[in-house]
Amino acid sequence: MKLSIGSAQFGFQYGICNKNGIVGKKEVKKIIEYCKLKKIRSIDTAQGYGNSHKVLGLIDLKKFQVTSKISDIKKNKDLEYSVTLEVNKILKELNVKKIYALLIHNTNQLKGKSGKNLYQVLQKLKKKKKFIKLGVSVYVKKELDFIIKNYNIDMVNLPLSVANQEFCKKNYLLKLKKRGIKIHVRSIFLQGLLLSSYSNLPKKFKNNKFFLEWYKWLKMRNYNSLDASLDFIKGIKHIDKIVIGIDNLDQLKNIVKSYKMNFKFKFNKFTQTYILRQPSKW
């Protein structure tokens, strides 16, 4: 099972299409119990996801591979002390002794001499078994190009969907795998935009070329948007984990049901625009 639970909604109202607000603690527990039942063993979280760490810390996470992202570390003389403090804080909030992977949320922190120092400190903490994998979370290919040119990383978390195929070009994912880098993909539903009906689509996207083509394609072939979005991702080789954001248990059940199907849709060459690749620009 390649599915991994994205926990942003556990800590704050995340996603341009999220109208349900923060997922309640009782619902989170139901989701985690269902994950155990369906052998979903991966959770993706971050310091920047509001109270998600503390919410997850109330649950027994021993059977899960937890990946978290460390927020910006302020530049100061005692960098090692500051980074160690933050990593220990993550572990304490999650109520675990170690996690599977620690990712740098803002790759700008790896630029320059201070970036080299930060990387060295994190490698020390890795050797102390605070986490098993060290990696980065990126938005665009150019960002990742810089990282792999200057650092040896174990994992990358990157956006990938039928609307954002930037990382699929020129065997890029294969090149990452040959370097031994684990690939976790996120934003596979584009914060729910790909699953939205045209009438519920935010006004700024209604005349977007991709969405006009997307809805036309779904209608002509009588495809379900959830099935199509998942099938596209499943058809891409070299992906290790597929991070999914959910608002409730029913959504997860529907995703798992669709994930287990074998559709093999024939995809059009969808038009892409910059706005779809960069949620931060929305």
Residue-range domains of the chain with CATH: 3-281 (3.20.20.100)
Report residue 254 CA to chain centroid gap: 19
Asked if pLDDT for residue 255 goes beyond 60, the answer is: yes
pLDDT on residue 269: 81
pLDDT on residue 76: 73
| Average pLDDT of the chain, as a whole number | 93
| Residue 241, helix vs strand vs coil | strand
Work out the average pLDDT over 93-115.
Answer: 96
pLDDT band at 141 (very low <50, low <70, confident <90, very high): very high
Return the sign of the alpha-carbon dihedral for residues 191, 172, 113, 88.
Answer: positive
pLDDT on residue 11: 84
With beta carbons less than 8 A apart as the criterion, state whether 277 and 164 touch: yes
Asked if pLDDT for residue 18 goes beyond 60, the answer is: no
| Residue 278, helix vs strand vs coil | coil
> In one letter, which amino acid is 204?
K
Work out the average pLDDT over 113-137.
Answer: 97
Question: Which tokens belong to 179?
Answer: 């370097």
pLDDT on residue 14: 66
Which percentage of the chain shows pLDDT scores above 70? 95
Distance CA 163, CA 210 (A): 7
Distance CA 54, CA 96 (A): 11
Between the alpha carbon of residue 232 and those of residues 38, 200, 226, 227, 239, the distances in Å are 22, 23, 10, 9, 12
Distance CA 39, CA 62 (A): 13
Question: Which tokens belong to 158?
Answer: 């990157």
pLDDT on residue 17: 64
pLDDT on residue 20: 64
What percent helix, strand, coil does the chain show, rounded to 5?
45, 15, 40
| Residue 102, helix vs strand vs coil | strand
Distance CA 149, CA 142 (A): 11
What are the pLDDT digits (tens) for 36-87? Answer: 999 999 999 999 999 999 999 999 999 999 999 999 998 777 999 999 999 9
Between the alpha carbon of residue 49 and those of residues 7, 87, 151, 205, 216, the distances in Å are 8, 15, 26, 26, 35
Distance CA 231, CA 279 (A): 22
Distance CA 219, CA 58 (A): 44
- SS3 sequence of 8-59: HHHHCCCCCCCCCCCCCHHHHHHHHHHHHHCCCCEEECCCCCCCHHHHHHCC
pLDDT on residue 253: 98
Return the sign of the alpha-carbon dihedral for residues 106, 109, 115, 117.
Answer: negative
Asked if pLDDT for residue 264 goes beyond 90, the answer is: no
Work out the average pLDDT over 130-155.
Answer: 97
Distance CA 208, CA 135 (A): 33
Least confident of 75-89, 96-110, 259-273: 259-273
pLDDT on residue 77: 74
pLDDT on residue 240: 98
pLDDT on residue 268: 83
Asked if pLDDT for residue 110 goes beyond 90, the answer is: yes
Q: H helices then E strands: how many in the chain?
A: 11, 8
What are the pLDDT digits (tens) for 179-227? Answer: 999 999 999 999 899 999 999 999 989 889 999 999 999 999 999 999 9
With beta carbons less than 8 A apart as the criterion, state whether 136 and 153 touch: yes
